[in-house]
A = this chain, B = another copy of it.
Amino acid sequence: MATNKNKVSETVIRRLPKYHRYLSELHEKGEDRISSQELSDLTGFTASQIRQDLNNFGGFGQQGYGYKVTVLKEELENILGISTVYKTIIIGSGRLGSVISNYRGFLESGFEIVAMFDRDEKVVGTTVGNHVVKSIDDLESYLEEHKEVTVAILTVPKEGAQAIAHRLEACGIRGIWNFAPEDLDAMEGVIVENIRLTDSLLTLSYYLTEEDR
């Protein structure tokens, strides 16, 4: 476990979910152990890169033996905090919010959706997914009463995102999963993880266009 107090780089962190994904598959297949070379063949990262990445957290492998699948999988789950369940609210009950609320990867990843908010009077009180949509006007009073909620998912239009983020910050929310195409201001004590659909599409467009040049 992360006894190493040095900051691990974000590039390394972003490879960990991928390692975990493959370890879970190996585990399902009943594999007992795996070498860093085999992990390299699966993931496309070099064996030395993989060993280096894992050494940030203590190693877990043995020379000539490789990694024990169950052990490495569990260690990755500890590192990624999968077993910690973060109570989560969704802001924005539109199409995307609705899909997200039904996303089965949530609880597996340690996030439990407990409420959903919207600013549109017409949807407040209706049921979306498994949640009765609450008014965004009640955000502060809800979070005051539910101190256990620490994460918010933003599926609001670009225009409203920053203001909502600041309200969430003021309420002590610690993490935001942001789908709004807006770069949120840095907020003290709030970790922002962005999903940038349009940026991703434009990257694909770039590579397609580059081939045509």
- The chain A residues found within 8 Å of chain B, CB to CB, are 2, 13-14, 16-18, 20-21, 43-44, 79-82, 84, 86, 95-96, 98-99, 102-103, 105-106, 108-111, 150-151, 174-175, 177, 181, 183, 191, 193, 195-213
Instruction: Point out the residue from B17, B98, B174, B200 that lies within 8 Å of A208, measured CB to CB.
Output: B174
- Count copies of this chain in the complex: 2
- Which chain B residue has the least Cβ–Cβ distance from A43? B183
A200 to B200, CA, bound (A): 14
The A contact surface, by secondary structure, is helix
**B95 & A102 in contact (Cβ 8 Å cutoff):** yes
**A204 & B17 in contact (Cβ 8 Å cutoff):** no
**B80 & A205 in contact (Cβ 8 Å cutoff):** yes
Q: Which residues in B have their C-beta under 8 angstroms from that of A18?
A: 183, 199
Most central of A108, A151, A177, A209 by chain B CB within 10 Å? A209
Q: Which residues in B have their C-beta under 8 angstroms from that of A99?
A: 95-96, 98-99
